[in-house]
Structures are given as C-alpha cells and as structure tokens.
Amino acid sequence: MRVTHGQVKNKLHELKDPKQAQNLQRFFKTGKGDYGEGDIFLGIKVPLQRKVAREFLSLSVSEVEKLLKSPIHEHRLTALLIWTYQFPHVDEDIQKKIYSSYMRNTKYINNWDLVDVTAPQIVGAYLLPRSRESLYTFARSKNLWKKRIAIISTFTFIRDKDFNDSLKIAHILLGDTHDLIHKAVGWMLREVGNRNRKLEMEFLNQYAASMSRTMLRYAIEKFPKPLQYMYLKRR
C-alpha cells in the first residue's frame, strides 16, 4: 500500500498539544512583524516528530515535498526530518532529487530550527564532493532563510576539516543586519575554531571590528577569558 503525506499529517494531529502550541508560537516569534510571522503550530515536541519521521521513511520524495508545503510548522519539520533520515541510505539519483526539492522549496524552510537540523544533513552532504556555488548565491540573496541555509550548510564541510567556504560565506555575511545571521555566522566561526583555532583567529584579527557584538561573542565563546576580552575591546 502506497504511503502518503496525508497519513503523516493524521499521525501528527493525533499528537497535538494546544497548550504547547501556544508556547511554541511565542518561542518562534510568530507575531506580526516577527521573523516567524503567521506560522502555525500543533504543539509537538521534536523527539516525537523524529519518531513519526522514522515511521514514514518509505515516503517518496514527491510526497515529502507535499508535506513540506503545509502551513503547519510540525508538518514541515517532519518532512525535512524524513529527508535527513533517508539521505544517507538512498542512491545518488534519489539524493539529487531530495537536494533539488529542498533548494526549490526554501520558501517553506522558513524558521531557524527547520534550517539548522536539516541544511548540513541535506545541502551540505550533497555538496560535499561538488561545487558549492549555490551556497554563494544564497548568501548574496535578500532572503533571511537562504542566507542561513548558506552558512549553516557549511557545518558539513567544517566537520570534514574543509573551512574555506565557511570563512568565505562568513565574510559575505559580515554586514548582515539580522540577529539570526549574526548568531549563525558566529556559530560556524566557533566550529572552525574548535578544529583550527589559528585559522579562526586569523579571520577574527582581520574582521572582528566589523562584526556585530552578537556574532563576535558566538565566535569567541570557547576562547580563554583574556582572549575573549581582547577581541571584545576591538568592538
């Protein structure tokens, strides 16, 4: 029997918690003018969504895409989680379909959790042996979530001790005005430093004075206190 996105929705709706939904709508800034404006929550915690995603690993790429296009946040996150679980275990043709669908439907990947738990596992993993030019296109876009996808996807390369694209995209995003980009760039710089402190310090020595305080604080979080103080004085 063919598994459909409707079955996933039904399963998720059985788990909804209206009180938790209200908490999540505040946490993810869904008010007018906020970055998550208008997003709708069922109130399902992530471990339960992960459990549901694992139950529907046979869902086709096209059915996952239909689920991703839902206005409900947990539908979208569960769809993306299914892809993250499928991706390492499918052939290259299916991986390409997942990656292409992800990149084509970024308008639905529109909150930081949706990006952070999926971009490295899908976009970064697919591009690891390939050209990363699409990430530079995203980094230069005006869309908040495309920019976050661009920098967060490089976490996969960082884990592979390939730091070049992370630093280049961080440089592109230095002057960005959004707090969620400041945090994402600082986080990836910190991850570079966790593996190569000297390289991160070379970047900071050149650009620390141009960073927002939030970005810099995230980047130097693991530094010894005297070194943190030295960089913060440059702001």
Residue 235 reports pLDDT greater than 90: no
One fold for both 1-108 and 131-235?
yes
> What pLDDT is attached to residue 1?
73
The topology under which CATH files domain 1-108 is: Leucine-rich Repeat Variant (1.25.10)
SS3 at position 178: coil
Looking at the chain, the whole-number percentage of residues with pLDDT higher than 90 is 98
Q: Are 43 and 22 in contact (CB under 8 A)?
A: yes
* pLDDT tens readout for residues 196-231: 999 999 999 999 999 999 999 999 999 999 999 999
* Domain layout of the chain by residue ranges: 1-108, 131-235
- Contact in structure between 210 and 198 (CB atoms under 8 Å): no
Which residue is associated with the tokens 């960082």? 158
Which class in CATH covers the domain with range 131-235?
A: mainly alpha
Is a pLDDT exceeding 80 seen at residue 18?
yes
What's the whole-model pTM score?
0.96
Question: CA 108, 116, 86, 73 torsion: positive or negative?
Answer: negative
pLDDT at 80: 98
Q: Check pLDDT > 80 for residue 22.
A: yes
Tokens in use for 133? 């030019």
Is residue 116 within 8 A of residue 147, CB to CB? The reply is no
Q: Which residues pair with 72 in a beta bridge?
A: 40
